[in-house]
Homo-oligomer: A and B are copies of this chain.
Amino acid sequence: MGEITARCADHRTPLLYEQWYVAALSTEVSQALSEVWVLQHSLVVYRKRDGVAVALQNRCPHRSYPLSHGVRDGDSVICGYHGLTFDADGRCVRIPSQESVATRLRTRSYPIVEQRPFIWIWMGAGPPTCAPPAAPWLNNPDYADVCGVFDVPCSYIRLHENVLDLTHLPFLHRASFKTPELSKTVPQMSTDGIQVRVRLETQMQATSGPSAAGEPAHSVQVVSELCFASPAVHFATTTVADLDTPPEGRATRRTGFVHAFTPVDPTSTRYFWCVSRDSELDDLAASDRARQDFTAIFSEDVAGLSRVEAMWARERREDFREISVAADRPGLRMRQNIENLARAEAESREAAAPVRAAGETP
């Protein structure tokens, strides 16, 4: 591992704001006001009467009351403390105790893009500089998906590291998987900008692995393609080919994974996941089974990474230094990329004139 000498992101690395993050699942947001936390900011999210999702700074700029504890008035929100009213763009349109409202009085409004099953939010200082990350199997009629969300007491960086290195499957998931082959497969890594990609090709018996649950044992080839797409999201696909059928008519099945990691703070993360399959599209029982299976599997990641974070939190040893192994190469590259993004953000923030998110007590 001597070739990797650049500094890797860790718990001291600042959170990254110039990114699209998943703020919520589409199904989590209704016309009711609800609070979500993204990057240490409290947001109030709701749908306007036309169904469009809105995210505002939840903290009333007047006396810091959470707008999520206020009430709706059409598409506006009335603060539950003194009744200051903000429209869906964040403008203060009414102060009940006075006639006029200063133009500068507003709560911040955040750019939102909804691409089912996710509601993406842009937390950057300026307008979005790109579109949210997309995967071809999302919103695609050839796929059926199931999704879920976990609140995880660990850093988003550890979650990225976990999904970039499948050698943990036979151990952390020893209760669910029986795939010792995976820890023996040599992954091929490639990079593209900040993206880090890994490709693995394995032959195994189809009973070993969740995508083949319930089938009779037969030889399959599994191709896994993993991608650290941004600090907010990891995409992956698994393509399973049945080696017991002749190549010409060989059936393949593809599964697409989205692992979206939204930092709540440096050591806690909302983990949104979505698994899409290109078979049994209208089979509700298959969806129920997949939801249960993947919830169980990803819960093992959540439990394991929580233990790691707890060890860092409790055993405060300044002399501890991680040792890395060959399989960590993609993860270390990802951590270098996050570290570099953090430095670039810090530099551009210094270069910019200071901006106030809310006004001052006069």
Contact = CB atoms under 8 A, between A and B. Distances in A.
Interface stretch (A215-223, A247-255, A311-319): A311-319
Given A171-B80, A183-B83, A356-B321, A98 B59 contact: no
Contact of A315 (B42, B105, B327): B42
A202 to B, nearest CB: 13
Interface stretch (A2-10, A22-30, A271-279): A2-10
Interface stretch (A62-70, A134-142, A226-234, A285-293): A62-70
A82 B164 CA distance: 13
Contact of A356 (B5, B81, B97, B319): B319
A77 B361 CA distance: 49
Nearest to A360: B321
Contact of A317 (B78, B170, B357): B357
Nearest to A41: B315
Contacts of A168: 81-82
Using C-beta atoms within 8 Å of the partner chain, give the interface range for chain A. 35 or more
A342 B323 CA distance: 31
Contacts of A355: 319
B170 A96 contact: yes
A184 B316 contact: no
A42 B323 contact: no
A262 interface: no
Interface of A: 1-2, 4-5, 8, 40-42, 58-59, 61-66, 69-71, 78-84, 95-98, 102, 104-105, 161, 165, 167-168, 170-172, 174, 180, 183-184, 304, 307-308, 311-312, 314-317, 319-327, 332, 355-362
Enumerate the 3 nearest inter-chain pairs by beta-carbon distance, A residue then B residue, closest first: A1-B362, A321-B360, A97-B167
Given A59-B315, A64-B311, A80-B304, 5 more contacts: A2-B362, A8-B361, A42-B315, A320-B357, A320-B358
29 contacts: A1-B362, A42-B311, A42-B315, A58-B311, A61-B322, A62-B322, A62-B323, A62-B325, A64-B312, A64-B320, A65-B311, A69-B304, A80-B304, A82-B165, A82-B168, A82-B325, A96-B170, A96-B183, A97-B167, A97-B327, A104-B323, A105-B323, A319-B357, A321-B361, A322-B358, A322-B359, A324-B361, A324-B362, A332-B361
